[in-house]
Amino acid sequence: MKYFIPAWHKQYDDWSINIPSIENYDAAEYMTVLKKFDEEIGLIITDYQPQLLSKLNQIAFFPNTLFSVYDFLQGVHGFENKVLELEDFNWPKNAIFDYGPFRTLIVLENKLYATVFYDIDGHILRISYPENDEHKAFTLGIDSRGFISNQDDEEKTIYFDPYGNWRFKKDKTTDKITVNPEMHFCKRREYENITDLVDEILSRYLKVNAKNNDEIIVTVDDESSFNNEIIEPYKPLYIINRHHPYSKKIGSLAKAKVIVSSNEIKQNLEKNYREQFDISVIPVFNSEFRLGHSQRQNVQEIGFFAENANDEGIHQIIQKLCNYILKNPDNYSLKIFTYNFWKADHVNKILEQIKEENKNSFILGKSEQAENAPIDGLDDEVSLPELDVAHTRLTNISDVLSNLDKMRLLINWGKADELMQISGVSIGIPQVQNFSSATVVDNKNGRIIKKISELLPVVDEYLTNLNSWNQTVVYNVQLMNQYSEENIIEKWKEVFKERKAE
């Protein structure tokens, strides 16, 4: 069995404020590939995750064994799942229900009695009760399996089992944990903090279930909900995930085997910790070659991934590309990509600046979507050219692949994004960037440049020279072997083999 202990901290937001985005479920890609090649996977969740099953459904993965520390603490064993509806709660007889698109307000005698919040799937996420003459304000958290999971107020959080019995509570002032004296699932009645309680349960589980030939694979995480001393006797494999801070935790680790997803992370670790760790590079994202369809398009699309570029760089790159497209606006277009909602907002503002700065030279956007297009009925002496420039915020992996499918060229700026880079390679397009990465080799499947001033000659080379573009396709096909599922599983097997030989 390969037991993974990932860093899954984030909980679902309610639908009204949820911003669709690409979710990074730590270790999910590794677990999926290993299970596909018949490795038995155990998943151990140490954080409070009342929507855990919803998350597993979202990533279409379910391990051979699943252990949630909080499920154990809350006595969730063999509970038959159900979806809680409003009708399942005991509301006052004269309550009025005001159904909104994102939440439901319950009103009693012209006063707000409660607010029901929903997750993105439309399931009840929590119910908030405002302060009144009978009680202080509090919130009920709902487990996606269909029961009240906790009650939270400004002083404490109480955790329940599926049948409404309280199991333990946390004092928000002192962090102390008090266990229901009538329950007998742990050794003590009080704990200094939740970490002490999690440590006890995790230690007990591993002692009973982890065998000599099993592997414990743990994400190094500064926000870890357990102490590392609990797992050190099992000589775990450690994973570094760039999306989770690890600089504080990793320095305290004993000499260990560490898995990283890129040579960049490996080099940083070797620089800072010298020979403290034995490091292997195993890519996170596997890929199949899926040649894009840019060669079938009349218009050659240029892609610019702006997520990791600063505002000044974004402005300069878009302006230069607009000037390039202006020479032949019927044959070229530009698509700008971001992930983050706030980054997308920055890009939109930069586009507005460029529109204003170039209002006498060109129009951004085609026909009806061009905001600064000429007004019908006005007799302009010169008709300004329309540039096909658009911005798209990518919210899932399918978005990434479908948008890159018709790209002729991808520009990355700032630093590497593993998903974007491997997607570009799998579709076969050249990539131009100002940093080194394992997936782009200068003059093979792209170009590494230093300055924005070097950009346009390289863009022109790939858009006008078919030999350069074809060379990229050939090299990307070869590179795909390194990122295939088969190669990734071989790297894992090599690590496991070395471990057994120790």
User: What CATH code is carried by the domain that includes residue 341?
Assistant: 3.40.50.2000
The gap from C-alpha 52 to its chain's centroid, in whole angstroms, comes to: 15
Residues 6+ apart with CB under 8 A from 16: 102, 103, 117
Residues 6+ apart with CB under 8 A from 450: 434
Mean pLDDT of 246-273: 84
* pLDDT, tens digit (0-9, with 9 covering 90-100), for 15-65: 555 555 556 667 888 999 899 899 999 999 999 999 888 888 878 889 999
- Quick one: pLDDT at residue 381? 47
Residue 401 Cα distances to 17, 258, 280, angstroms: 26, 30, 28
Task: Please state, in angstroms and rounded to a whole number, the distance separating the CA atoms of residues 118 and 123.
Answer: 5
In the listed set 252, 281, 310, which residue is the last one of a domain according to the structure? 281
Q: Looking at the structure, do residues 151 and 70 belong to the same domain, yes or no?
A: no
Q: Looking at the structure, do residues 248 and 384 belong to the same domain, yes or no?
A: no
Give the 3-state secondary structure of 410-423: EEECCCCCHHHHHH
Q: Looking at the structure, do residues 124 and 72 belong to the same domain, yes or no?
A: no
Q: Is residue 323 within a helix (H) or strand (E), and if so which, with residue range?
A: helix 311-326
* pLDDT, tens digit (0-9, with 9 covering 90-100), for 435-490: 998 889 999 999 999 999 999 999 999 999 988 888 988 888 888 777 778 888 99
Residue 498 lies in a domain: no
How many independent structural domains does the chain possess? 3
Burial (0-12, 13-18, 19+ Cβ within 10 Å), 16: exposed
Q: Which residues pair with 240 in a beta bridge?
A: none
Residue 490 lies in a domain: no
Residue 265 lies in a domain: yes
Output the CA torsion sign for 69, 70, 75, 80.
Answer: negative
- Say if residues 387 and 325 touch (Cβ distance below 8 Å): yes
Residues 6+ apart with CB under 8 A from 65: 1, 40, 41, 42, 43, 209
- Quick one: pLDDT at residue 295? 58
- Say if residues 112 and 105 touch (Cβ distance below 8 Å): yes
Residue 249 lies in a domain: yes
Burial (0-12, 13-18, 19+ Cβ within 10 Å), 107: middle
Q: Looking at the structure, do residues 37 and 169 belong to the same domain, yes or no?
A: no
Residue 289 lies in a domain: no
Q: Hey, is 281 helix, strand or coil?
A: strand
Q: Is residue 115 within a helix (H) or strand (E), and if so which, with residue range?
A: strand 111-118
Q: Hey, is 248 helix, strand or coil?
A: helix
DSSP state of 284: S
Residues 6+ apart with CB under 8 A from 441: 475, 479
- Residue that wins the pLDDT comparison between 23 and 347: 347
Q: Which residues pair with 42 in a beta bridge?
A: 3, 65
Q: Looking at the structure, do residues 31 and 156 belong to the same domain, yes or no?
A: no
Residue 170 lies in a domain: yes
Q: Looking at the structure, do residues 308 and 271 belong to the same domain, yes or no?
A: no
Mean pLDDT of 406-431: 91
In the listed set 225, 253, 281, which residue is the last one of a domain according to the structure? 281
Q: Looking at the structure, do residues 150 and 168 belong to the same domain, yes or no?
A: yes
* pLDDT, tens digit (0-9, with 9 covering 90-100), for 381-393: 458 999 999 999 9
| Residue among 336, 350, 347, 437 nearest 394 (CA) | 336
Six-digit token string for 21: 């985005």
Q: Looking at the structure, do residues 410 and 266 belong to the same domain, yes or no?
A: no
The gap from C-alpha 456 to its chain's centroid, in whole angstroms, comes to: 32
Q: Looking at the structure, do residues 331 and 385 belong to the same domain, yes or no?
A: yes
In the listed set 130, 165, 187, which residue is the last one of a domain according to the structure? 187
Give the number of other Cβ atoms within 10 Å of residue 390's Cβ: 16
Mean pLDDT of 65-81: 88
- Say if residues 62 and 23 touch (Cβ distance below 8 Å): no
Confidence class for position 276, pLDDT limits 50, 70, 90: confident
* pLDDT, tens digit (0-9, with 9 covering 90-100), for 287-336: 554 555 555 567 899 999 999 999 999 999 999 999 999 999 999 999 99
Q: Looking at the structure, do residues 301 and 437 belong to the same domain, yes or no?
A: yes
Q: Looking at the structure, do residues 451 and 375 belong to the same domain, yes or no?
A: yes
- Residue that wins the pLDDT comparison between 218 and 377: 218
Q: Looking at the structure, do residues 232 and 264 belong to the same domain, yes or no?
A: yes
Task: Please state, in angstroms and rounded to a whole number, the distance separating the CA atoms of residues 114 and 91.
Answer: 10
- Residue that wins the pLDDT comparison between 243 and 270: 270
**Residue range(s) defining the domain that contains residue 449:** 294-483
* pLDDT, tens digit (0-9, with 9 covering 90-100), for 86-125: 999 999 999 999 998 788 999 999 999 999 998 877 889 9
Residue 148 lies in a domain: yes
Task: Please state, in angstroms and rounded to a whole number, the distance separating the CA atoms of residues 321 and 334.
Answer: 8
Q: Phi and psi for 286 in degrees, rounded to 5?
A: -85, 165
Residue 149 Cα distances to 159, 190, 195, angstroms: 6, 20, 19
For residue 142, pLDDT beyond 70: yes
- Residue that wins the pLDDT comparison between 169 and 12: 169
Residue 502 lies in a domain: no
